[in-house]
Structure 1
Amino acid sequence: MKQFLLVVMMCFAMNSFAQTEFGKKFKPIAPLNNKVAPKKVTPSVSAQAPVIKAPDLLKKPEQTLPSFSKYEIGQTKSFSMEQTNEFANPGDRVMEKMTKDLNKTLVREGLKEDDRFLVKIDKNFGEIRTKSKYFVVQYRDYISIDGDLIKATINNQMIGGIMELYSSYGQFVFNLNEGFNVFEMEAFSKGSSGGNTCEFKIYDDHGVLVRSEYWDNWDKGVKGKFVIIKE
């Protein structure tokens, strides 16, 4: 019993000493605040979700065409097999008009033949009376040199072959029979610029000019005839 009381008293004494020793000097330290405060983030405009407008399924969609179109809604372009110049080069129309104007000028000035006025009927140049033994015929193209060809015959016999006309004179000679002789000159071709054109002069055996004639814008195959009577 004494021992028990002794122990109780010792414990009481130690407790009193401890309270007296640390009661005035000891101040407890508060624990550190280690909790991390959350960072406040302000959402930017780009992060916002886009506004999506749902289509109205009951509304009929509007029909529009580009501003450069010349057609309107409900109009259709008529179909045609006819060739048009919708996409033609404007320069081609100018060149075509210039060509037509130039052709008209050349025809008017006598520098070009016009196919619309081709002579298609043979011509009789009449009768020639002479005592000459032969005739000399000079011939040339008096308008444009475009490849005109002629053929000459005396009493159905060809003279000198097929002859081409140039600006300078060519010539051929044929003999005359006693009595009637039929002399013909034929436009053997058309030139590249129109009908056949020819100027010719007929001389006797003394160099005297007997007849001077010409033809203008003859079609291929047209003939000019002379009846020559040798007296």
Structure 2
Amino acid sequence: MKRILFFVFLLGVSLSGYAQDEFNNTFKPIPPKHPEEEKDIPPKEISPKVTPPDVIKKKDSLPFDPKKLFDNPYLYKKPANTEGIYYRQNQFLGSFKTQALTAKIRYRDAAFLDGDKVKVYLNDKVIVPEVVLEGDFKGFEIKLEKGINRVDIEALNEGFASPNTAQFEVYDDKGVAVMNDQWNVGTGYKASIIIIKE
């Protein structure tokens, strides 16, 4: 009986060895019933490198160079080369264009009421010979000429506290404020506003 069991055992071992032989072959996947159609993937679009054009700066349409505004030594005092004191020079307050017939300029002392005095010119002609800057706004109205109208405000003194300081406002003939700023200048120096009537 031991021999029969031994023989059955050998037969089982030999059959299992043949059964393993099919796994030695390379793996072959079973194809699906409904194969998906391969979608054509379009190639990636590579945009060409485009260099943007240089930015052209629009030239200032003002008919003068603000840097050369104070070049005339007969009209404007030269800056004082005093280290640490920056108000001993003329000050350009800006420019604007308008179609208004008149402009109103108002000013007042922007700091201490220390007795600051100014003289006002329009195109090199004195229109206000002397005015003391106070806490309330004072002003004048000018009739604008075609082209450039230059308003110069000259500091006649610096009051008790240097420099001559003031806040100013400019209005067109419709009452619209077009400028609002301050000047800080020493005695004899001017703050200038350019109004261009188109």
- Scaled by the length of structure 2, what TM-score is found? 0.55
Q: Does 1:227 pair with 2:194?
A: yes
Residue 120 of structure 1 corresponds to which residue in structure 2?
88
Partner amino acid, structure 1, of 2:188: G
- Give the CA deviation at 1:126: 2.7
Residue 56 of structure 2 corresponds to which residue in structure 1?
none
**2:167 aligned to which of 180, 199, 209:** 199
Q: Deviations over 1:101-156 (max 9, x none)?
A: xxxxxxxxxxxxxxx63511111223210011111111100211111001111111
Long gaps (5+) in structure 2: 1-83
- Scaled by the length of structure 1, what TM-score is found? 0.47
Higher-RCO chain (CA-CA 8 Å, sequence separation at least 6): 2
Q: Distance in 1 between matches of 2:95 and 2:139?
A: 21
**1:209 aligned to which of 172, 177, 182:** 177
Q: Distance in 2 between matches of 1:168 and 1:193?
A: 19
User: In percent, how many aligned pairs have the same letter?
Assistant: 30
The structure in which a higher percent of residues are strand is: 2
Partner amino acid, structure 1, of 2:142: F
Residue 140 of structure 1 corresponds to which residue in structure 2?
108
Measured on the aligned residues, the alpha-carbon RMSD in Å equals 1.4
Q: Is the 8 A contact 1:130 1:230 kept in 2?
A: yes
- Which portions of structure 1, spanning 4 or more consecutive aligned residues, are displaced by more than 4 angstroms? none
Q: Is the 8 A contact 1:159 1:174 kept in 2?
A: no
Q: Deviations over 1:188-213 (max 9, x none)?
A: 21101222111000001110001001
Partner amino acid, structure 1, of 2:143: N
Alignment of 1:181-200 (within 5 A): 181-200=149-168
Alignment of 1:36-47 (within 5 A): none
Q: Is the 8 A contact 1:150 1:185 kept in 2?
A: yes
Q: Deviations over 1:155-181 (max 9, x none)?
A: 111123211100111111111101122
The structure in which a higher percent of residues are helix is: 1
Whichever of the two has the greater Rg, that structure is: 1
Q: Deviations over 1:75-107 (max 9, x none)?
A: xxxxxxxxxxxxxxxxxxxxxxxxxxxxxxxxx
Q: Deviations over 1:4-28 (max 9, x none)?
A: xxxxxxxxxxxxxxxxxxxxxxxxx
